[in-house]
Structure 1
């Protein structure tokens, strides 16, 4: 096994070439939400895989193509499925960029470009890691399969169908992805799952049109008040959902996971000051990270009713709309939670309109598995410091496709700097973060060869 410091020196000697490869990807727009440059970028990623010595090809979906590649012995005892996405967020507002979003620029030891941290600079680290090990005569005796999709920033809407159509092709012993920012302390993060998500809209009505609040005020139902009174029945003062069946199936954290939560660095006072708040919301008997990872949410994402423009308008609103969002935890399913919400709403307003907007199940891998422990150990060796280990993130990703549909343990790491500003103007990745990501994947691939999957 080649150790991290040796790998780092080898990366440094090739770093100009690695930067040029990255810059080529960054110069190619690939905005899935707008359909700009996606096919061209898929071809470029496929060629990048081939240039690294990986057998690669384009695979079609009902939307954006997938760049797929594999390398390693067919009789390998361990197969790792490596995931990434080549699509990026729209760059707007363009006037807030200090340089062109699709012309990578180095300033202050950082690479500035749309997609550099999310996710081109991160998945490229794994491709270059294999190339480096191969050039050093140390390609690990495992099978590597690369799945780089083009719709993550647009909801990965065709990923599940693609994966299930290609189950045999994508069969593996574990799933790995590098995505997201490091911890504010500068330590890498290893996480093993994500919360799910349900988004729904509830629309209630009073009269069949807005009415004069003087001529009609009193006997005529007010759509806004109907909605406000409904919402007041749906949440308890301590922040829990007051909806029967909402928490059915919720799986509490294990003792090992609770211990991991205690070890996550957290600056309570600094966080409150940063957000301009004095108290945290939610159940008082739960820690900050337990609320983030193991407590489902019931969030009002937006409300619309009546008139709030300039001046005054005397009106009884006929209609009121609320957008609700719940982040779901292991043991919950979007449709199960939606049904509970629907039953609750109809107890109070039988004719309310309820529309499901989006849903994605939660997913979690045990951090106690041998493959999970191997990944944590690899990140510690690569970075020279213990990573921050999180049982799961509060955010949502299509992790369930790999854990539930393919039955794989899923490991996620973060290679981008904490202040990468992904999705924002001036997205960036430090040169060090890009360099260290290559080293980290190289160490990880070697460690995976040592995992006993029997």
Structure 2
């Protein structure tokens, strides 16, 4: 068969309803990793759905114990056809966030795939069961077209704890580097730039959460008796935050600002337009870094956001000066940011502004990643995606949000390509989560073409990648 014939075969498979049936079974499994009473369901997803599907393609299964969260397991499916062939590493997570059953719209259930027009509703339809199901289906099309072969080696890693920040993922990648070794990484998560435009992104912004707190005294005191005599931690913390990020959302800590946006990245982003939509919030044009477009602010810059702020008793305010105040802030950042020293940078900035009483505690963080957009693998993927879809593909240097891409890019040292099969208004992590059938169908065709090409000319593609990497490092 040819590439075009295999892509048509993929579309016919989707139109037959078989993909929908498979996804419906997977949605029905209540694999909520944030709940302690779903351990059996998490195991069932791997054992009853993923394992048999991968074994049918000739993959060998290797369960990997989670060293940090034993009840949130990993499963590696491996198919080695020839040691001389390129090896692809894929990834997906079968866990989902809370179902929140009671708050879904009437007629919808998080555990039943429901079709309405172009939408398939169900928890995990967009994040991430639907997306990795598309990629498994693409492997199935290649397997059938090539008579039981893929034309490349493949490893597919599944985790069941991504929605609780992927505990253990980095450690298993460090501890099992040979087992997980590969030449290229391709996976699907997150949204497209827009519903009607296929998207390729090369990494993700990093994120680090920090708690700022002031403990002035052990108890609250009457505001009439002590107002003007006792410092107010709420007022002080509000001023501390204001010296970190101003009233227009602009980061004021120079040490945490990113490098200037490069000409190459700026050129890529000039083809992307972030606009308000009827299904999402309206963009505040005057918010964020001055002199940048909304697209540059989202994909090429750093932002400091206040996630929570607590002082006194918000539910029942008392006539009292609170004894303490606390806030959790988050820095979203691009590559080149000195985020690992965020505590020292915040400490120095706060001290400079007379805020020595503010305590700084780093809660958790993950690095930013970005494959060089000039890498030949990027040109290949863009061309294949455009040829298959007939649409100009949106290229994002990195996702605006965060993914555990650093374990694949940094620990395993792989070039990473992400092809999302969702869109911004999918309801991810909210009620009425859904996948668009049109995106799933197009995504299946795109992934089938990418995987076909990998089997046809994977050696050439990787040779050009290595040549470019060596030239760039000189």
| TM-score, normalisation: structure 2 | 0.88
In 2, Cα distance between equivalents of 1:272 and 1:295: 25
**Corresponding position of 1:70:** 78
- What is the CA distance between 1:443 and its match in structure 2? 0.6
**Corresponding position of 1:24:** 25
In 2, Cα distance between equivalents of 1:278 and 1:197: 22
- Does 2:200 match 1:190? yes
TM-superposition CA deviations, 1:200-251 (whole Å, max 9, x none): 111113343211112112222111222123223223566433335223xx34
**Aligned residue runs from structure 1 range 351-362, under 5 A:** 351-362=357-368
In 2, Cα distance between equivalents of 1:171 and 1:10: 29
> Per the alignment, in what secondary structure is the counterpart of residue 244 of structure 2?
coil
- Does 2:168 match 1:158? yes
Aligned length: 449
> Per the alignment, in what secondary structure is the counterpart of residue 285 of structure 2?
coil
TM-superposition CA deviations, 1:322-376 (whole Å, max 9, x none): 2111102101243312221123334534343322222111111112111122111
- Does 2:88 match 1:80? yes
Contact 1:81 1:146 in 2 (8 A): yes
Contact 1:206 1:220 in 2 (8 A): no
> Per the alignment, in what secondary structure is the counterpart of residue 255 of structure 2?
coil
> Which one of the candidate residues 44, 59, 64 is aligned to 2:64?
59
> Per the alignment, in what secondary structure is the counterpart of residue 356 of structure 1?
strand
**Corresponding position of 1:398:** 404
- Does 2:143 match 1:111? no
Change (3 A) 1:309 1:288: same
**Corresponding position of 1:43:** 47
**Aligned residue runs from structure 1 range 68-217, under 5 A:** 68-97=76-105, 98-137=107-146, 139-217=149-227
Change (3 A) 1:190 1:10: closer
> Per the alignment, in what secondary structure is the counterpart of residue 298 of structure 1?
strand
Contact 1:76 1:143 in 2 (8 A): no
TM-superposition CA deviations, 1:118-137 (whole Å, max 9, x none): 11111112212122112122
**Corresponding position of 2:470:** none
In 1, Cα distance between equivalents of 2:371 and 2:291: 25
Structure 1 residues not aligned, in runs of 5+: none
Contact 2:244 2:251 in 1 (8 A): yes
In 1, Cα distance between equivalents of 2:216 and 2:409: 45
RMSD after superposition: 2.4
Change (3 A) 1:23 1:276: closer
| TM-score, normalisation: structure 1 | 0.91
Change (3 A) 1:277 1:137: closer
Contact 1:261 1:390 in 2 (8 A): yes
In 1, Cα distance between equivalents of 2:390 and 2:449: 12
In 1, Cα distance between equivalents of 2:195 and 2:114: 26
> Per the alignment, in what secondary structure is the counterpart of residue 395 of structure 2?
strand
In 1, Cα distance between equivalents of 2:314 and 2:21: 52
- What is the CA distance between 1:403 and its match in structure 2? 0.8
- What is the CA distance between 1:5 and its match in structure 2? 6.0
